[in-house]
Amino acid sequence: MNSRRTIEILATFFYLGRAPLMPGTVGTIGAIPLVVLFSLAGVYGYIGLTFIFTLWSIRVADQYEQIVQDHDTKEVVIDEVAGYLIAMFWLPHTWQAFLASFILFRTLDILKPYPISALDARAQGGFGTVVDDIVAGVIANIALQFVYTQTNWLGMKYVFGS
């Protein structure tokens, strides 16, 4: 993985990061088909594929930073893809779950409340680019797991038949 163009395609998640407005949001939308695809592998497959994708995104982001000589540029959206994969872990594939996880993940990623802001400020390289999205995805997922298990709002009734 050393071709400049290949790294650019991957870091921008097939050029979604080149969107003129809200590239992070566009990149997150681009993650939705990957969520569905990874889910076909089952729970453990989803975990494994998301873990591998996240590690790979750190490497890609690091290589892209070396090419452009800049940290966490707006066109790099592979980190948003990794974060959204984490945000959607073990949630039902209902429009409510996709929408709620999208809104919560993007809000956390944009506003960067503590501890996301602290990690974002301290971490360097590709890890620094991706870590805030990992934590935003984890926080979004934990919050939505609570909603999912305590209400019917995310489509729980359809999954568990309650």
Q: Tens digits of per-residue pLDDT, 135-159?
A: 999 999 999 998 888 887 766 544 4
- Give the residue-averaged pLDDT of 19-46: 97
Residue 75: pLDDT over 70: yes
Number of domains in the chain: 1
Q: Each residue of 38-64: pLDDT tens digit?
A: 999 999 999 999 999 999 999 999 999
Domain of 99? 4-160
CA distance 106 to 132: 11
pLDDT of 1 reads 53
pLDDT of 147 reads 87
Where are any strands of DSSP class E within the chain? Answer: none
Q: Each residue of 7-22: pLDDT tens digit?
A: 999 999 999 999 999 9
Q: How many helices (H) and strands (E) does the chain have?
A: 8, 0
Residues present in the chain in total: 162
CA distance 1 to 12: 15
pLDDT band at 162 (very low <50, low <70, confident <90, very high): very low
pLDDT of 161 reads 36
pLDDT of 153 reads 74
Give me the helix-helix angle, 78-87 and 23-39, nearest 10°: 50
pLDDT of 40 reads 95
- Tell me how far apart the 2 most distant CA atoms of the chain are, in Å: 53
Name the average pLDDT for the chain. Answer: 93
